Amino acid sequence: MSQIHLELTKVGIEFPTPKGPFCALRDVDLKIKKGEFVSLIGHSGCGKSTVLNIVAGLYQATTGGVVLNGREVNEPGPERAVVFQNHSLLPWLTAYENVELGVKRVFKGKKTKAEMRDWIEHNLELVHMTHAMHKRPDEISGGMKQRVGIARALAMEPQVLLMDEPFGALDALTRAHLQDSLMEIQNELGNTVIMITHDVDEAVLLSDRIVMMTNGPAATVGEILEVTLPRPRNRLELADNAGYNGYRSAVLRFLHEKQKKVEPIAAKRADKHREQDTPAQAKSVA
């Protein structure tokens, strides 16, 4: 359990823009153990998704690199399955067929047709979607779509599960429900998970570690918070737990004091007058 599984070393990325290269990330270092649940939290536009996309192989790091099980990551692959923010199911396929697409790709030649069918159904069962297996995405609710998205990712038996704000577009009740499902599944399968979130409660509830990112440009890892709450965790019991609230306020303090995004408007105006041409500076790493 304790060996380093996924390692990001000095990861930086620059995007070309008409005004010259824009440095989105700089020197992101992160070591993740097998079976660990890590959340990335930070303000919008701080490059959380970029980190995830680099690990997924959808983007290429300009500097540094990602190593998974001793091998460098330089292209996307099913061993790093992604759960996309807007589910990204193929609208012309049913829930079953959407999961099947990945399963066929990964287990071709390794599983028989019947085994594949069992496996697909098993994964849809994990996310409690067996009842709507043969419905198309436009026939099911947002939460259900996201469940299918998770089933699709899990069914590929990924070494790392990458989740890009998986519950961001859902209402609070559905979100809580899916968080519980996710904890249950992770407890059972022991996947390594990297999840991006905006939600402080979600981060504390689900994670073993919370990686807090500084604001961009040239964003990087600000602080890392180890969450040692015992598992299985229960949201109701944790609500009054002093430890839980301590973690919460630590994350909140980071986001709203150290990495304050929104300045009071009056101060901003004054600032603008003072340093008209100086571009916004990246805040220093805490």
Residues at the site binding other proteins, with contacts judged by CB under 8 A: 56-58, 75-78, 80-82, 84, 86, 88, 90-93, 101-102, 105, 136, 138, 156
Q: How far apart are CA 4 and CA 68, in angstroms?
A: 9
| For other proteins, the closer CB: 47 or 158 | 158
Which long-range CB contacts under 8 A does 181-185 form with residues at least 24 apart? 181/127, 181/128, 181/147, 181/150, 182/150, 182/206, 183/231, 183/232, 183/233, 185/126, 185/127, 185/150, 185/154
Going by their DSSP bridges, the two strands 20-33 and 37-41 should be labelled as: unpaired
| For other proteins, the closer CB: 15 or 92 | 92
| For other proteins, the closer CB: 101 or 250 | 101
- Up-side HSE of residue 219: CA atoms within 13 Å toward CB? 23
| For other proteins, the closer CB: 153 or 225 | 153
| For other proteins, the closer CB: 88 or 241 | 88
Considering the complex, what minimum distance in angstroms separates the CB of residue 82 from other proteins? 5
What is the identity of the amino acid at 10?
K
Cis peptide, bond prior to residue 217, ω within 30 of zero: yes
| For other proteins, the closer CB: 75 or 226 | 75
| For other proteins, the closer CB: 100 or 201 | 100
Q: Which of left, alpha, beta for 216 (phi over 0: left; psi -120 to 50: alpha)?
A: beta
Q: How far apart are CA 143 and CA 167, in angstroms?
A: 8
Considering the complex, what minimum distance in angstroms separates the CB of residue 100 from other proteins? 10
Considering the complex, what minimum distance in angstroms separates the CB of residue 13 from other proteins? 16
Q: How far apart are CA 121 and CA 115, in angstroms?
A: 10
Considering the complex, what minimum distance in angstroms separates the CB of residue 215 from other proteins? 25
DSSP class of residue 161 equals E
Q: Three-state SS for 14?
A: strand
Considering the complex, what minimum distance in angstroms separates the CB of residue 136 from other proteins? 8
DSSP class of residue 110 equals T
Considering the complex, what minimum distance in angstroms separates the CB of residue 99 from other proteins? 11
Q: Three-state SS for 55?
A: helix
Which long-range CB contacts under 8 A does 128-132 form with residues at least 24 apart? 128/181, 129/95, 132/95
Considering the complex, what minimum distance in angstroms separates the CB of residue 58 from other proteins? 6
| For other proteins, the closer CB: 156 or 196 | 156
Considering the complex, what minimum distance in angstroms separates the CB of residue 138 from other proteins? 8
